[in-house]
Structure 1
Amino acid sequence: MASRMGLIGCLIVVVALLNGETTQVTAAVEYQVGDSLGWTVPPNISYYSNWASSKKFFVGDTLNAFIFNTL
């Protein structure tokens, strides 16, 4: 019984270590909403939807929408 528990414990440690090697760590990113266009009246109705769909957001990322471009 003790050897079975030891084997299970070793298996859990190996799985945890292997899982840690495949986990990707990323740093937080600050996005300027709309990129070079900024936060303004968009040229078309889907501009910001298209912009957002081209990004992959993660927990910790921030959206900077308060840089206004004047025309």
Structure 2
Amino acid sequence: MIMTLPPAFAPEELRWFKATASSDHGACVEVAHAPENWVAVRDSKDLTRPGFVASGGAFGALVAGLRAGAF
């Protein structure tokens, strides 16, 4: 499989959101839709640390696996 690197983007330019099931206790991740069908993920309690990006398809597979209890 050939993977291309994600486009360069500034995290502060993205619209970040937490899951509606997240609590206010700080144990959450935030996600944002990044350019060209990439999804950015970061730790909501330490925004100074870099997050990561995944293709939309890979992120969708991760979410489906989590919902199915695969992890």
| Coarse TM-score class (shorter-chain normalised) | under 0.3
Q: TM-score, normalised by structure 2?
A: 0.23
Between Structure 1 and Structure 2, the one with more strand by share is: 2
Q: TM-score, normalised by structure 1?
A: 0.23
**Which is bigger in relative contact order (C-alpha 8 A, separation at least 6)?**
1
Between Structure 1 and Structure 2, the one with more helix by share is: 1
Larger Rg: 1
